[in-house]
């Protein structure tokens, strides 16, 4: 039986080559993870900056001190979870949802009027910006977990 071609790769050798993870692909995954982590932390810094501006600009009234304290604690907790080597989606997602809910609940009529009066910023634009940054944190957090 001289018809057998000995130049064809064997099944075993092709399987071995496919199962091997190259250092290049590992490096690319690490780069993507690091980029997502960096973007996530940038979005978190933006939310913290907006919150600091809001806290320093608006005088305490009604439930404002409670909102400031709760929001600040939850931001710190989220940052703590996001800076861990291994991020747990459930923990971060729960805190992020709580932050968004706390923020949206705080935006009552008096709050909106004070934003416009003391900052001259459109309250809806401010709200949209905060929510957008919080959504970005969620998006990049998910990318980190999936990498």
Q: What is the pLDDT along the chain (147 residues), one digit of tens a residue?
A: 444 444 433 333 333 334 444 556 678 878 888 888 899 999 999 999 999 988 888 777 667 788 889 999 999 999 998 888 777 878 888 999 999 999 988 888 778 888 888 888 888 888 899 999 999 999 998 888 886
Of the candidates 88, 59, 94, 57, the residue with the CA atom closest to the CA atom of residue 74: 94
Alpha helices of 1-88 — where are they, by DSSP H?
11-19, 23-57, 64-82
pLDDT of 117: 82
Distance, CA of 47 to CA of 131 (rounded, Å): 9
pLDDT of 24: 62
Q: What is the pTM of this model?
A: 0.73
Distance, CA of 115 to CA of 58 (rounded, Å): 7
Cβ-contact 131, 47 below 8 angstroms: no
Pull the structure tokens for residue 57.
């600009």
């Amino acid at each position: 039986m001289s018809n057998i071609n000995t130049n064809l790769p064997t099944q075993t050798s092709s399987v071995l080559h496919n199962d091997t993870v190259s250092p290049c692909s590992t490096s690319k995954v690490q780069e993507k993870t690091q980029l997502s982590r960096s973007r996530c932390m940038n979005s978190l810094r933006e939310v913290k900056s907006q919150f600091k501006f809001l806290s320093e600009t608006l005088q305490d009234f009604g439930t404002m001190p409670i909102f400031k304290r709760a929001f600040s604690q939850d931001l710190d907790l989220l940052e703590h979870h996001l800076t861990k080597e291994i991020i747990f989606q459930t923990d971060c997602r729960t805190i992020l949802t709580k932050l968004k809910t706390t923020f949206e609940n705080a935006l009552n009529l008096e709050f909106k009027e004070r934003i416009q009066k003391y900052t001259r910023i459109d309250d809806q634009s401010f709200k949209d910006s905060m929510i957008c940054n919080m959504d970005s944190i969620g998006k990049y957090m998910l990318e980190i977990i999936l990498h």
